[in-house]
Amino acid sequence: MAKKIFLIKHVKARIKKPATIALMLLLQVFVGLGQPLAVATYNLRGDDPRDVGNGWSARKYMVSDQIRRHKLDLIGIQETNVNMVVDLMSTIPDLDSIGAFTKVTTGILYNKRRLALLDHGNFYLSATPDQESKGWDAKFKRMCVWGRFKDRLTGHEYTIFNSHFDHVGVMSRTNSIKLLLEKSKQIAGNADQILMGDLNTTQYDPNYLNVNNSGLFKDCYNLALNNHEKLRGTGNGFNIHRRQRIRVDHIFLSGKLQSYEYNILTELYNEHTASDHYAVMSLIGPKANDLGDLYRQFPEDFENITTVIPRYGNIKVRSRTGEWLFKGGILGGSIGNDRPTSGNHAVRLINNNPEPVYLQMNFDVPEGASRVTVQHGIYAADSACRWQLEYSTNQGRTWKETGPVVVSHQAEKQQAIFVLDITGKVRFRIKKMAGTENNGRLSIDDFTIYKRSATGPERVNVPLLAWQFSPFPDQGAKKARSSFNAKGIEQTVFKRGAGLSAFAGDSSLASVRPGFTVVAGKPVRDTSEAILAESFFEFTVQVANRFDAALQTLDLRAMSTGTVKKIWYWKYSLDGKSFRALAKPFEFTDSFASSQTTIDLSVNPDLQHLTNGQQVHFRLYVAGLEGRDDLISIGSVHRDENNESGADYALILTGLIKKK
């Protein structure tokens, strides 16, 4: 084993005796998989005296708290000076480190009670990687630090690569990617690998796509069975209000590893962030099998299509995943109008189409499907449009609808999630619904499919509860009965909390269409005020006797007015008293109906085994309310009066239901 550099020995000598750090509890979702490893990449900004108000002397306690709070086992660190490493290891004695911090401020922190270091080393990001050197057009010397570790709990071995790419040199970043891929093969071969760091490379950059589509690594953002953060990027510049979706900090896994959760750690400490980057975290481990795994050629980002598509028509194109049919579609390349979520392109489907138009797979995936995710939005400032996912199990001869009707209303992409249980070969398509007026162009990107996660007979995900508030019969009412409830689910009511009151004025003046429309009795500026003021909507799910249910997805169409962004966030309770966060908050302000980023309930073990009268209480808190001129409403502006399937609802809960 290579010797540790003197610096690390020196650091260890200055640290107190180890103290026990509690290990993570084995979560139900990981039974049989072993305890997952909590991995993070974190740019710590350095110890810069110019950071007035954000100095390391205060931030070190924030970073230590995050490491403890999230029970991080392994952290790729960047912009971390020697004294910062000493501070963190002194505060958390179970941490050890590898790196050459006196030369390049990049290294790896690891929990030595959980991980045994087997080997380690480093190389420079340059044409002479084995010599201290600056590479290509880089402004600074850059390095990759690697280590091979054995998990003391599971016996599994991982090789970790952590790096920090140059922020100036374009050629340096391109060549650094190539060097990393080459070195990972030389050092780790076919062993399980994690590649992470601040790569100064966004998800739109060809260098990112070269890694994510290399066949060697895949981003945890795509792999995660539960992605907690879909709306925020990884940089913040010490600005707590920044909401850019640009990601430059990444964690990639090799093919035999799985990401169970992905998160961007956005905790605030007295209205301060712990660094000018957020930590990116993932729970990872070896795959027990391929059940539920991402088809690794996905997501389809439509970046390598060479076919020229001059106009909307009926055109077949070849992409990395297979052949696609653009029926009424073109390949859009406007960053400002198509708003791709990765790369530079998105598929754009025509507006005011008199007949349905499609983005369609002309090929099958072989191992069924458990989940499909789609990034969707409108083109530029077009009108809202409606679409639905369909699937075929007979090579496209016939198609079936699945999931709710989705309303795309904003240019910024949202993620739609469809939870499925389909066996065998299957293909999918997006059907944009017909409408010759106020039917805007639909923009689609990052179409992603996950393999079937179950064995045995197929289970059908169906609507369990749904509401349609358009038009709402009584604007003064405090509650509304469910418009639909499946057999085995009791009828229930949707109601408002005490801090919200009915709106009795002319809602058309505020461009809010009929719906369950309310106003706040007083300003509600943040989430803590929303809880105190009881600024929420609420409903309860109750399973009937002799039935079993598993909740799968929750979709909402919400509207609001005012110039301040509204903060919406779901909580749930099993006893009606103690409420837990269901998902991270989401934000928008728009007078048109919004198809909220779908809440995937299938990853929450509390909601998968409900039986015999059990209840789950759901609350949707809303903050960012300025007063009585600020309206919020649950409703749909695009109700299909001829829709008999019950799919076009303002609020819909889906799941699996069976009689005992």
SS3 95: strand
For residue 52, count other CB atoms closer than 10 A to its CB: 7
Model pLDDT for residues 386-443, shown as the tens digit of each residue: 999 999 999 999 999 998 888 888 888 889 999 999 999 999 999 999 999 999 999 9
Angle at 373 between CA 208 and CA 470, to 5 degrees: 135
Comparing CA positions, the residue from 580, 622, 626, 628 lying closest to residue 601 is 580
**Sequence-distant (≥ 6) Cβ neighbours of residue 581 within 8 angstroms:** 569, 570, 571
> What distance lies between CA 278 and its chain's CA centroid?
15
The residue among 186, 104, 192, 95 whose CA lies nearest residue 148 is: 192
Query: So what's the pLDDT on residue 515?
Result: 64
Q: What is the DSSP letter of 366?
A: S
pLDDT higher at 29 or 606: 606
Q: What's the rounded Cα separation, in Å, for the pair 573 and 360?
A: 40
Residue 56: CA count within 13 A, CB half-sphere: 18
DSSP-derived letter for residue 30 is: G
User: Cα angle vertex 442, ends 437, 444, to 5°?
Assistant: 170
0.95 exceeded by the pTM?
no
pLDDT tens, residue by residue, 171-193: 999 999 999 999 999 999 999 99
210-269 tens-digit pLDDT: 999 999 999 999 999 889 887 789 999 999 888 788 999 999 999 999 999 999 999 999
CA 26 – CA 235 distance, rounded (Å): 31
Q: Tell me the two tokens of residue 33.
A: 């998989």
Which residues fall within 8 angstroms of residue 56, CB to CB, at 6 or more apart?
A: 44, 45, 46, 47, 48, 83, 84, 87
Per the DSSP assignment, residues forming a β-bridge with 76 are 41, 108
Q: Which residue, 280, 275, 266, is CA-closest to 54?
A: 275
**Tens digit of pLDDT for each residue in 203-212?**
999 999 999 9
3-state secondary structure of 633: strand
Alpha helices in 54-195 (DSSP H): 56-69, 82-91, 170-188
**SS3 state at 471:** coil
Average pLDDT over residues 65-73: 97
> What value does the mean pLDDT of the chain take?
87
Number of H helices, E strands in the chain: 7, 40
Neighbours of 264 (CB within 10 A): 22
Residue 510 has pLDDT above 50, yes or no: no
Which among 65, 228, 220 is positioned nearest to 584, based on CA atoms?
A: 228
- pLDDT, position 327: 97
Return the ∠ at Cα 149 (arms to 145 and 153), rounded to 5°: 150
Using only the alpha carbons of the chain, give its radius of gyration: 25
HEC string for 376-444 = EEECCCCCCEEEEEEEECCCCCCCEEEEEEEEECCCCCEEEEEEEEECCCEEEEEEECCCCCCCCCEEE
**Token duo for residue 424:** 């065998």
Q: What percent of the chain has pLDDT over 70?
A: 88
593 vs 156, 408, 457, 511, 620, CA distance in Å? 48, 9, 37, 11, 16
CA dihedral angle for residue 171, residue 177, residue 183, residue 187, rounded to 10 degrees: 150
Residue 131: pLDDT band with limits 50, 70, 90? very high
Residue 551 CA to residue 609 CA, distance in Å, equals 9
Residue carrying the six token digits 């909740």 = 551
Q: Is 423 left (phi over 0), alpha (psi -120 to 50) or beta?
A: beta
d(CA 617, CA 554) in angstroms, rounded, equals 13
d(C-alpha 203, C-alpha 53), whole Å: 31
The confidence band for 471, taking pLDDT boundaries of 50, 70 and 90, is: low
DSSP, res 305 = -
Q: How far apart are CA 431 and CA 647, in angstroms?
A: 14
Using DSSP's 3-state secondary structure scheme, residue 307 falls into coil
Yes or no: say if 479 and 495 are a contact pair by the CB < 8 Å rule: yes
Rounded-to-integer distance, Cα 652 and Cα 387, Å: 16
Beta bridge partners of 566: 588
More confident residue, 284 or 310: 284
Q: Which of 231-245, 322-336, 510-524 has the highest mean pLDDT?
A: 322-336
Q: What's the length of the chain? A: 660
- Confidence bin at 477 (pLDDT 50/70/90): low
- pLDDT higher than 50, residue 342: yes
Mean pLDDT across 292-314: 91
Measured distance CA(259)–CA(38) in Å, rounded:
10
Measured between alpha carbons, how far apart are the two ends of the chain, in Å? Answer: 59
CA dihedral sign, ordered 356, 360, 364, 365: negative
- Residues 124, 130, 132, 133, CA torsion sign: negative
517/561 Cα distance (integer angstroms): 11
- pLDDT score, position 404: 84
pLDDT at 421: 94
pLDDT in tens, 544-588: 999 999 999 998 888 777 778 888 899 999 999 999 999 888 877
Residue 644: pLDDT band (50, 70, 90) is very low
- Rounded to an integer, what distance in angstroms lies between the CA atom of residue 578 and that of residue 571? 10
Angle at CA of residue 254, ends 250 and 260, nearest 5° = 70
Structure tokens at 450: 């996950």
Two tokens, residue 17: 């005796």
For residue 396, the number of C-alpha atoms closer than 13 Å in the C-beta half-sphere is: 15
Q: Pairing mode, if any, of strands 74-78 and 106-111?
A: antiparallel
Residue type, 489: I
Give the angle 150-80-186 at the CA atoms, nearest 5°: 45
Q: What tokens does 318 get? A: 């070849």
